[in-house]
Structure 1
Amino acid sequence: MTDNLDKIKSVGIYVRVSTDAQDLEKQVEQLSNYADRHYPEATQSLYKDEGTGTDTERNGYKRLMDDLEQYDVVVVRSVSRVSRSISDLERTVDEFKENNTALVFMNEPIEFQPEDEDPYSRAMLQLLGVFAELEANMIQDRIKQSIETLQNNGFKWGRAPLGFSKNNGELIPENNLQQICAVLEMVDDDEMSQRKGAQRLDTSRTTIRRALEDEDRRQLYNLD
C-alpha cells in the first residue's frame, strides 16, 4: 500500500454502475471505508456515474480526470470501472502518472504509483505493454485500410488531418498518431473534455470537434 501515508492529504473516489442490479451506494460505502482505513488523514471527494448498459455518458469520470491533479490517490473498485481494454488501462495509468497521482484498484488489488518501484506493478505494466503494442499494430493496420478505402473511392483531402502529412496527395500517418487516436477516443467516450484533449495534443478544440464529427475522419482515427 502507498507509503508515507501522512503525505496523503486528498483522495478521489470513483464509482460506476451500469445496471439496476448494481448498488451504487453500497460501492460508495465500501470505497469510503477503504479510504478511511488506508488514508485516515485525507479528505475524500466522490465522483460517480450511474446508467444502463447502453448509456455511455460518464460525466463523473470526465470530471475526475479533469480534476486529477488535485488528488494524491484515486481509489476505484476494479479495473473494469475505468478501463475497457488493455491500451485503455495503459492510457489511464499514464494519465495518472502525468498528474503525480496514485491509482488504487480495491478488488484486484493493484496499485500504480507515479514513480512505482514495486516489482509486481512493474511486471504488470510490462505485460500490459506487450498487449498494448499488439493492439497498436492492429489499430495501425485498420487505419491503413481506411486510408486505402477512402482513396480508392476517389476521396481527396484538402489540408492533411491531425496526425497525418501528405505526400503526392496521399495521407501518411505521423509517429504520434497512436497517441492522437487514444486522446480522441477518450474525448469521444466523454472521459476527457475537448478542452483538455486539445491541450494534450497541442491543437484547437475546433480540430478536435472536426475529428470526432466528420465521418471520414472518424475512420482515420479508428473511432467507429
Structure 2
Amino acid sequence: MANIYGYCRCSTNETRQDITRQERELKALGVTNNKYIYKEYESGTKVNRVELQRLLDSVSEGDTIVATEVSRITRSTKQLCEIIEIAKNKHLKLILGSFVVDCTKELDPMTEGMLKMMGVFSELERNMISQRVKSGVANARSKGKIVGRPSLTINNVPQKVKDMYDLYKSGSISKTDYAKMCSVSRPTLDKYLKIILEG
C-alpha cells in the first residue's frame, strides 16, 4: 500500500511555530500519519540534510512526498533535479503546495520544466536575500556601526553568577546546580565562566 510522506523545513533562524504551520498544511494536503512527517531545521541551500535523506531512503514505488512549497524541499536547482530523478526512478508523486508532479507514470516534459523553473526562482530568491544581507552588513560597517552580537564583558555577567563562583570552584556545587540556581542555561553559564576566568 502506498504511503503519503510529508517534509517540512525551517532555517535555524526561523521560529518553530513556522514548522507547526507547515505541519497543519501538510495534513490539509493529505498527510494523515504524524510518523510520516519529517521535520528539519536547516537551510534550504544545505545539500546533505539528515531528515530529507531519511525521507528519500524511506519512500518506495507509488508513494507520495508532500511539502508546502518547492523551497521547503530545496533552494538548490541541482538538488531539485536530483530529487526529480529519484521520483522518476522510484515512480513517486510529488505534491509541492498546489503543484503536483506525478512520476508514477511517465512525467510530462512541461510539468518537469515548470518544476525546474520554480527551483531556479527559489534559488534566485535565496541568493538575492543573501546578497541584500551582505550588502546591508557592509554598508553598516562602512558607517562604523557594530554588526552582530556585542561581545560580552565581566560587566555582563550577572552578580549571582559571580557570587556563587567560589562555591562552584571549590566543588561544593555541580555545574548543573550552578546553572539552575542562577536561572541560566548550561551554554550561557559556560560563556560566563569563560569571561570570569579570562578576567
TM-score bracket for this pair, using the shorter chain length: 0.3 to 0.5
Q: TM-score, normalised by structure 2?
A: 0.47
Query: Which structure has the bigger radius of gyration?
Result: 2
Q: Which has the higher helix share?
A: 2
